[in-house]
Structures are given as C-alpha cells and as structure tokens.
C-alpha cells in the first residue's frame, strides 16, 4: 500500500498498516492517490527510497 502524509507531504510504500509518518512521525496518514503513486514509482525508479512532496 502506498501512503501519503498530509502533514509533510511524504509519500512512501509499506507492506503493512501504517499509523504514523516515517518522516515527521505524525499520524495524518492517508492512502495515496493514483497520481501520487505514479510519482512515487518514478522516484523509486531513480533509486530513491521515498518522495517528499513539500518542502519543510
């Protein structure tokens, strides 16, 4: 499942259930939209582990 953090915009993939963001450790996680999943896949193909959508 691909998730996105509504707090910091982090997009990441996890096999199991996730309750907090691995980046900012807040719990405003939701399932990523299709467009976000595509963007994450592009990022992973470049050898990067995850995508941060917004600047901090």
Q: Quick one: 7 or 44, whose CB is closer to Zn ion?
A: 7
Show the beta-strand stretches assigned E in the chain: 2-5, 10-13, 29-31, 51-52
Q: Is 3 in the site for Zn ion (CB under 5 A)?
A: no
- By the rule CB under 5 A, 52 interacts with Zn ion: no
Least separation in angstroms between CB 40 and Zn ion: 14
Token representation of residue 37:
């999943």
Per the document, the length of the chain is 56
CB 40 within 8 A of CB 51: yes
Q: Does 29 bind Zn ion (CB under 5 A)?
A: no
Q: What are the residues binding Zn ion (CB under 5 A)?
A: 5, 7-8, 10, 21, 23-24
């Amino acid at each position: 499942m691909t998730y996105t953090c509504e707090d910091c915009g982090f997009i990441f993939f996890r096999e199991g259930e996730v309750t907090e963001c691995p980046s900012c450790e807040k719990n405003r996680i939701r399932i990523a939209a299709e467009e976000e999943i595509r963007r994450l896949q592009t990022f992973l193909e470049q050898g990067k582990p995850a995508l941060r959508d917004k600047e901090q």
